[in-house]
Structure 1
């Protein structure tokens, strides 16, 4: 079963999360500060992180930026802050999902299942590597390189890149991308896909690989 790192310093919320995850059969690790979480991550195999922002010492935002230099482990941020600008900033900095307190445990568990399905989908792929021009993806380790430089992608960016690499030249609408990667219905005015595409472009050695097809969506070239 998957191992989930709980990073939450509120004892009551932490206990609720741990109990709920234990009942679902997940293995859990507990951290009450950013520094403790980083240490656990260095010495354990972790499949997903639940990250509170208001942690003592190294806070959640600092922790997120730090681990994205070396890891694409899915991260779901849990916070009392319900601010759209903060949400955009967190997603830009590497969060894969975001839920505000107070939260519904069933909704959180559903979001966890979605993230873990993304990881599982890649791990059971029969191919070990995908190569396209100067881009290589190791499907076992999730390591992505472009022009021989390792890219530090979020889970969503990684899934979008795989979608493009599976069908180069195919034009995808924003709805196609969102529903393929997020596995949720797409809302017309949602800018989430645009933001992730922009971030992915900036990380590739050649940002022109992702073409905008005006009025339709995007394709990989």
Structure 2
């Protein structure tokens, strides 16, 4: 189980992030004394740090630099400051990613999982099983059972199905799905999402379930 350290002075945001990460079976630690961020980091030994820029006493850039003096732990900046200079500063200080507030929690979790996989070769930190309309998705082995039949999915097909099943009854936009699947959707052909959706549908239909993923023209996709 990976431990995520959250350095965010807005209590509501800190608690929302913590609650969402704990649903994914992450352990979380939220800093509350912003004079002792570096001390907390050394004591807690997290596998990833979420770091705000605007903090009391010293800003996030300072703490990022301090952490980088002793550790290569993945760091994601989360900030309402979204200028190119802020992002360049963050990367120059050694950050691995930058998420602008307000952000989608699903996208943040996807970025955390992707960064942990790249950094530690982790599988997604969860033993969760999702079940809906004759499909059972096994998070621990990236597979799905349909009417008791085991169906292998590619990484992207599995991730798509997970997001759609987790949000069943909600329309998810193409943009949201692209952000959740790939770190930077600007470099992904929009047709790639269509191809992955079609492959996923075909595998589900071959197992005997039809109309599982619906297209809402101009809006996105939904598992009703």
**TM-score normalised over the length of structure 1:** 0.54
Q: Contact (CA 8 Å) 1:34, 1:60: kept in 2 or not?
A: no
Q: Contact (CA 8 Å) 2:64, 2:94: kept in 1 or not?
A: yes
Structure 2 spans left out of the alignment, 5+ residues: 123-181, 189-224
Partners of 1:183 and 1:105 lie apart in 2 by: 14
**TM-score normalised over the length of structure 2:** 0.54
1:25 maps to 25
CA offsets, 1:57-98, max 9 Å, x none?
A: 122111011111111000000000110111011101101000
Partners of 1:186 and 1:102 lie apart in 2 by: 19
2:58 maps to 58
- 2:86 maps to 1:86: yes
Q: Contact (CA 8 Å) 1:49, 1:73: kept in 2 or not?
A: yes
Partners of 2:90 and 2:55 lie apart in 1 by: 15
Question: In the comparison of the two structures, how many residue pairs are matched?
Answer: 129
SS at match of 1:56: coil
2:37 maps to 37
The 3 A distance-change label for structure 1 pair 183 and 14 is closer
Higher Cα radius of gyration: 2
Cα RMSD for the two superposed structures: 2.0
Q: Contact (CA 8 Å) 2:61, 2:90: kept in 1 or not?
A: yes
2:10 maps to 10
Partners of 1:74 and 1:81 lie apart in 2 by: 20
SS at match of 1:99: strand
1:74 maps to 74
Partners of 1:14 and 1:183 lie apart in 2 by: 22
Q: Contact (CA 8 Å) 1:4, 1:27: kept in 2 or not?
A: yes
Structure 1 spans left out of the alignment, 5+ residues: 123-181, 189-221
Partners of 2:12 and 2:96 lie apart in 1 by: 24
Residues 200-211 of structure 1 mapped to structure 2, 5 A cutoff:
none
Runs of 4+ in 1 over 4 A off after TM superposition: 182-186
Q: Contact (CA 8 Å) 2:111, 2:183: kept in 1 or not?
A: no
- The CA deviation at 1:186 is 7.1
Partners of 2:106 and 2:83 lie apart in 1 by: 22
Partners of 1:56 and 1:184 lie apart in 2 by: 31
